[in-house]
Amino acid sequence: MKILNKANRPEVVDEQVVVPKDDVLISVTDPKGIITDANDIFVSISGYSKEELVGANHNLIRHPDMPRVMFKVVWEHIKDKENIMAVVKNLRKDGKYYWVITDFVTQVDEDRNVVSYTAYRRAPKTCVLKTIEPMYKALKAIEDFAGIDAAEHFLMDFLERRGESYDDFVEHLIVNTCEKDDIRKAYEAGTAEEKKGFFNRFFGI
């Protein structure tokens, strides 16, 4: 019998653990979201042993700062066999947190029945979190105040106005915001001569 459940979930410690850049954290679940497998990197960053993880509901590592609506969106996609990418703040066994960009992928049998789900997680760039953190705080506040449906309305309206799915929104954040950040950093690190070259290349002056 599993000893880990919602009642004995760790107390939150407001301290981030940064996932190394090249690490990929993988977990596999059955169709109900019960963990069936996890790679060593996922196990190590979660702080649990593999024995503790396998057989547990994946919400074991749910961080209370995460808006519920995000998981609603994820489950609606993967149940429909549509893959989705989402930015997730997770809770470790020691109560600390880590951020990941997660690719949720559905596996089906020959009759197109879901047999399992796999999540592939990598570290997000800080620039992604600059947008996602306040967005999730707003969603959580709406959820606490007016319920999950109101949060979903807010999210869908926000995305509709942009003409993007949540996936597209995250992808554009990575491409637009982060690349601009990278250009600025490279520019700031350069010498005067290099800076001139930079402007020539990027801004045509």
Q: Which residue has the tokens 């109560």?
A: 95
Q: Does 90 bind ligand FMN (CB under 6 A)?
A: yes
Contact 44, 19 (CB under 8 A): no
Taking CB atoms, the residue at the shortest distance from ligand FMN is: 59
Among residues 48, 97, 117, 169, which is the contact residue for ligand FMN, using CB under 6 A? 117
97, 99, 90, 94: which is closest to 130 by C-alpha?
A: 99
Among residues 19, 53, 88, 123, which is the contact residue for ligand FMN, using CB under 6 A? 88
Contact 59, 33 (CB under 8 A): yes
Distance CA 146, CA 140 (A): 10
Task: Quickly list DSSP for 133-162.
Answer: HHHHHHHHHHHHHH-HHHHHHHHHHHHHHH
Q: Does 27 bind ligand FMN (CB under 6 A)?
A: yes
Applying CB under 6 A, what is the total number of residues that bind ligand FMN?
Answer: 16
Q: Does 86 bind ligand FMN (CB under 6 A)?
A: no
Cα-flanking dihedrals φ and ψ of residue 162, to 5°?
A: -85, -15
User: Contact letters (x/-) for ligand FMN, 28-67, by CB under 6 A?
Assistant: -x---x------------------------xx-xx---x-
| Contacts to ligand FMN by CB under 6 A | 27, 29, 33, 58-59, 61-62, 66, 68, 71, 88, 90, 104, 117-119
